[in-house]
């Protein structure tokens, strides 16, 4: 029997207090209707903001989290809690790690509570074809049961239909295209440049576009990266989506930074946890600043 606390309406402050406590278990403490209301409120916040986010620094930029909830909390404890510290996270919040539910609930609570200083970008793991396979859906089923799992799974993914995406695409030639990205898709297949924005990767030391070994989208060379910065009128592109040893990695061209914020990834990769990319005066675009999650 669940010992859920029952609220007349979703109380973000109470949820944040619980989530920042020791050993809080969302599934044992929060009934599905409260999570459903959280996803609705988060979706409304995402949809109220522009598709292309043009943010003013300073802010902390964090990469993949992959359900490593304790590491996510460590980011806030070491770099400061919102709204004192402003954050943008570059996607891949769920899958592979041990605490999908706590991770996504904490992030959505902060987004609802502090919409103007806490930003979430969509990764490829914020799409239902991916997170139905790599851990998010199965964790919901295990912790909430078959009946509530299905509804919660689609509610969280529906929220992500209004988030932001990331990456480069052969079809992306100017910044205004990002403002025209449509919300409301789950499977990026066939959705204009959406697939590339979620899946493309750099390949330093090469030129042009190549098919990606991931089985979808492309690898882009140094010339493509330089050309994209010129066309988008930015100095640096910051993206996630790849494990890097020191938590961040600067591209040889100095025009791209990859950020990854899940240390000891999946208990196998011996990558470090260096998440404090704090930008103060760069003109940059988080290849991501497209609203397509929620």
Which of the residues are catalytic?
125
First-to-last alpha carbon distance for the chain, in angstroms, is 31
What is the DSSP-derived secondary structure letter of residue 221? Answer: -
Helix (H, G, I), strand (E, B) or coil at 281: coil
Residues in the chain: 294
Per-residue three-class SS string for 4-62? CECCCCCCHHHHHHHHCCCCCCHHHHECHHHHHHHHHHHHHHHHHCCCECCCCCCEEEE
Q: Are 279 and 110 in contact (CB under 8 A)?
A: no
Residue 89 near residue 119 (C-beta atoms within 8 A): yes
| Partners of 257 in beta bridges | 238, 250
DSSP 81-143: -TTTS-EEE-S--SSSSS-HHHHHHHHHHHHHH-TTTEEEB--GGGSHHHHTTSSHHHHHHHH
Residues with Cβ within 8 Å of 46's Cβ and at least 6 positions away in sequence, in order, are: 111, 120, 159, 162, 163, 291, 293, 294
Cα 41 to chain centroid distance, Å, stands at 17
Q: CB–CB of 286/90 below 8 Å?
A: yes
Tokens for 236, please give them: 């640096």
């Amino acid at each position: 029997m669940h010992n859920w606390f029952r609220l007349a309406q979703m109380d973000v402050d109470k949820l944040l207090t619980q989530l920042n406590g020791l050993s809080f278990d969302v599934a044992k403490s929060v009934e599905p209707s409260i999570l459903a209301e959280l996803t609705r409120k988060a979706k409304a916040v995402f949809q109220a903001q522009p598709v292309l986010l043009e943010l003013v620094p300073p802010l902390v930029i964090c990469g993949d989290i992959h359900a490593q909830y304790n590491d996510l909390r460590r980011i806030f404890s070491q770099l400061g809690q919102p709204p004192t510290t402003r954050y943008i996270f570059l996607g891949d919040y769920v899958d592979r790690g041990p605490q999908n539910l706590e991770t996504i609930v904490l992030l959505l609570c902060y987004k609802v509570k502090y919409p103007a200083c806490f930003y979430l970008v969509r990764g490829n793991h914020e799409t239902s074809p991916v997170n139905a396979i790599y851990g998010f859906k199965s964790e919901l089923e295990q912790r909430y049961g078959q009946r509530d799992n299905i509804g919660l799974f689609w509610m969280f993914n529906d929220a992500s239909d209004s988030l932001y995406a990331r990456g480069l695409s052969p079809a992306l030639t100017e910044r205004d295209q990002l403002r025209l990205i449509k919300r409301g898709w789950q499977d990026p297949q066939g959705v204009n440049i959406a697939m590339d924005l979620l899946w493309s990767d750099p390949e330093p030391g090469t030129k042009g576009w190549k098919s990606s070994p991931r089985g979808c989208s492309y690898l882009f060379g140094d010339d493509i990266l330089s050309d994209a910065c010129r066309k988008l009128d930015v100095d640096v592109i910051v993206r996630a989506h790849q494990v890097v040893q020191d938590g961040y990695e600067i591209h040889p061209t100095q025009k791209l930074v990859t950020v990854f914020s899940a240390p000891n990834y999946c208990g196998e990769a011996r990558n470090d946890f260096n998440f404090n990319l704090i930008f103060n005066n760069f003109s940059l675009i988080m290849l991501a600043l497209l609203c397509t999650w929620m």
